Chains A and B, each alone.
Chain A
Amino acid sequence: MIKKLITYMLLIISSLIIFFPVLFALLASFLTPSQLSRGQYIPTSMSLDSYISVFQDVPLLKFLFNSFIVSSTVTIGQLLLCSLAAFAIVFIPFKGRNVVFFMFISTLLIPWEAVMIPNFITIINFNWLNSYLALTVPFITTAFGIFLLRQHYKMIPKELHESAQMDGCSNFRFYWSFALPLSVPMLSALAIYAFLTTWNMYLWPLLVTSNNDARTVQIGVRMMISQESATSWNTIMAGVIIILIPTLLILIIGIKQLRQGLMSGSLKG
């Protein structure tokens, strides 16, 4: 009994501390600038003014739309390209596939920051600045995704593939009708992970966007800070809350898949 009490106390105190910043942002978004400057943090009334003004002051809807397009494209791209590559490595017994796989895996050692300068120049040469292409194409394949799916495909019984081949089922057909449906849990973990990390990208969009055509919410928030911080922190906090909602929702819905996916990706290797 006492043990339970202690557990609950620890849980509640920890959650308050961990969640305090988000909670605080939420509170601040309902305040007026003058309340904030007086250090009065408990809203007296639910004023939605800052939510209205954040949509008026910055093209937040456009930013959200951009982020959504970019994240979805990268997610779909990763699912498709990584699953194809992993499929070939596991089910098509061509020579040199281990070498290929090693090459893929070795890219995990390259931090994106170490290659961003040449990549930035590549994007300029392709004339992709301020376009969705710059934000999506470089990310539609990851070695992590290939690795994760390869691990999973290997658990599909070989006999299944053999008998399918005997029945005249082509490799592509097998990929489409068996391999993909059988790895839905893993695919959804990868999808959630890809979506979250793309949505949250910061440095790269900062480099390749200079107007609102493709600018994502993350850079939008940064712009908002330098534009609004004179008086309207409440507006900035309202903006922050709005961009938090999609990712928090995805996280809450997909937390189980994500946990399983990340676990198998990280440890069962």
Chain B
Amino acid sequence: MERGTDSATKYVNVKSLVDSETSVVPKTSSKAKNRMRKWKLFGEGMIYLFPAFLILGIFLFYPMIKTLYYSLFITNPRGETVVFVGLENFLTLMQSASFQNSMIQTFKFVLYTVPTGVFLALFLALIANEKVRGIEFFRVIFSSTLGVSVAAGASIWLFMFHPSLGVLNNLLQVFGLDSIGWLTSGEWALISVSITTVWMGIGFNFIIFLGGLQNISQELYESALIDGAGYFARLFKITIPLLSPTLFFVVTVTLINSFQSFGQIHILTGGGPNEATNLIVYSIYKEAFEFSRFGTASAQAIILFLFILLVTIIQFKVGEKKVHYQ
């Protein structure tokens, strides 16, 4: 997981962030003194903020502009810009069969991973929210995949998917079924990568869902019980509506994570077979670091950035209206 992937960071409700602060500065008699004081405060504030500014400036703001800049150029392998080509890189990408395929596969991948990932985690959170003995143990188990790194997780699945030694194909053999080319067949590879991704994401989603469930007031359930509502009635009438902010958050995070998947592809398939798992970040990586074409790679990076921006905007616009808040 990269910085960008630690997706809790992605969802911040900006609207409520900035509220007017009441000043704690006592009023002073003279204007000059006041101005002095203001500058001093500004200076002091900047000292505290400077290191953070420096880091974010060098490693996020500057490179973002630089990426945009690169995307308008053809570059040589040393990363120097050679020819200004305007939007040609973007046009080439749009026409490239390989990039089109990469986009299609990325969307398919999102479609495979997001709904399954969210529903499985929700299901686990629901059963782990029951108050029974030893529940903490199960909660730890369900959260455990958050502690599994992409390299470790993908390595385990690589072994499980192994064509002749893997446990999955061995199981199929036991039942007398044909073995499956989990990672080698064009039909299965994306599904296998999706399974791995869903599994790795469950821990995080589970934790968030469980937290959301525990925030729902017990009284609502008690009064529903008095009204004689059954389990599923309570689930759909109380739990799901009240959980909708959490649900929405998890969907957004999983969506953004999906777009950013890299490690599992690098380890499991290398983008193959026949580019079936060449998702966008992998495609950027290959273009930039295998073929040394920073220009077109940056153009792809800009497209990725726009997608994530779009998801975030939709989340704000739609999310604010449709989601039921407590």
Whether B263 contacts A141 by the Cβ 8 Å rule is no
Whether A255 contacts B60 by the Cβ 8 Å rule is no
State the majority secondary structure of interface residues on A: helix
- CB closest chain-A residue, reference B298: A117
Q: How large is the interface on B (under 10, 10 to 19, 20 to 34, 35 or more residues)?
A: 35 or more
Indicate with 1 or 0, residue by residue over B209-232, a CB within 8 angstroms of chain A CB atoms.
011100100000000000000000
In the assembled complex, A233 has its CB within 8 A of some CB on chain B: yes
Determine the distance from Cα of A147 to Cα of B266 in the docked complex, in whole angstroms: 32
State the majority secondary structure of interface residues on B: helix
In the assembled complex, A211 has its CB within 8 A of some CB on chain B: no
Whether B12 contacts A105 by the Cβ 8 Å rule is yes
Query: When A109-B309, A118-B62 are in contact, do A21 and B41 touch as well, CB less than 8 Å?
Result: no
Determine the distance from Cα of A94 to Cα of B49 in the docked complex, in whole angstroms: 12
Query: When A18-B202, A37-B165, A84-B51 are in contact, do A251 and B143 touch as well, CB less than 8 Å?
Result: yes
Whether B149 contacts A100 by the Cβ 8 Å rule is no
Whether A112 contacts B38 by the Cβ 8 Å rule is no
B235: chain A residues within 8 A (beta carbon): none
In the assembled complex, B238 has its CB within 8 A of some CB on chain A: no
In the assembled complex, A56 has its CB within 8 A of some CB on chain B: no
Whether A225 contacts B158 by the Cβ 8 Å rule is yes
- CB closest chain-A residue, reference B150: A202
Indicate with 1 or 0, residue by residue over B64-95, a CB within 8 angstroms of chain A CB atoms.
10110010000000010000000000000000
Would you list which residues of chain B between 228 and 268 have a CB under 8 Å from chain A?
245-246, 249, 256, 259-260, 262-263, 266-267
Whether B150 contacts A200 by the Cβ 8 Å rule is yes
A109: chain B residues within 8 A (beta carbon): 305, 308-309, 312
Whether B140 contacts A252 by the Cβ 8 Å rule is yes
Query: When A88-B49, A115-B63 are in contact, do A240 and B156 touch as well, CB less than 8 Å?
Result: yes
In the assembled complex, B182 has its CB within 8 A of some CB on chain A: no
In the assembled complex, A244 has its CB within 8 A of some CB on chain B: yes
Determine the distance from Cα of A182 to Cα of B157 in the docked complex, in whole angstroms: 43
Determine the distance from Cα of A237 to Cα of B67 in the docked complex, in whole angstroms: 39
Size of chain A's interface in residues, with CB distance under 8 A?
109
Whether A10 contacts B147 by the Cβ 8 Å rule is no
Whether B49 contacts A15 by the Cβ 8 Å rule is no
B109: chain A residues within 8 A (beta carbon): none
A161: chain B residues within 8 A (beta carbon): 24
Whether B45 contacts A92 by the Cβ 8 Å rule is yes
A142: chain B residues within 8 A (beta carbon): 3, 6, 9
Whether B9 contacts A144 by the Cβ 8 Å rule is yes
Known contacts A94-B38, A162-B24, A259-B210; 4 additional CB pairs below 8 A are A111-B305, A141-B56, A202-B151, A240-B152
B residues engaging A (CB < 8 A)? 1-6, 8-14, 16-18, 21-25, 38, 41-42, 44-46, 48-49, 51-52, 55-56, 58-64, 66-67, 70, 79, 123-124, 127-128, 130, 132, 135, 138-153, 155-160, 162, 164-165, 167, 170, 173, 199, 202-203, 207-208, 210-212, 215, 245-246, 249, 256, 259-260, 262-263, 266-267, 281, 284-285, 288-289, 294, 297-298, 301-302, 304-305, 308-309, 312
Top-9 shortest CB links A-B? A144-B9, A112-B4, A88-B48, A118-B63, A200-B149, A115-B63, A118-B66, A251-B147, A111-B4
A residues engaging B (CB < 8 A)? 4, 7-8, 10-11, 14-15, 18-19, 21-22, 24-25, 28, 36-37, 39, 41, 81-82, 84-85, 87-90, 92-98, 100-105, 107-122, 124, 137-144, 146-147, 158, 161-162, 165, 171, 193, 196-197, 199-204, 206-207, 217-219, 221-222, 225, 233, 236-237, 240, 243-244, 247-248, 250-252, 255, 258-260, 262-263, 265-267, 269
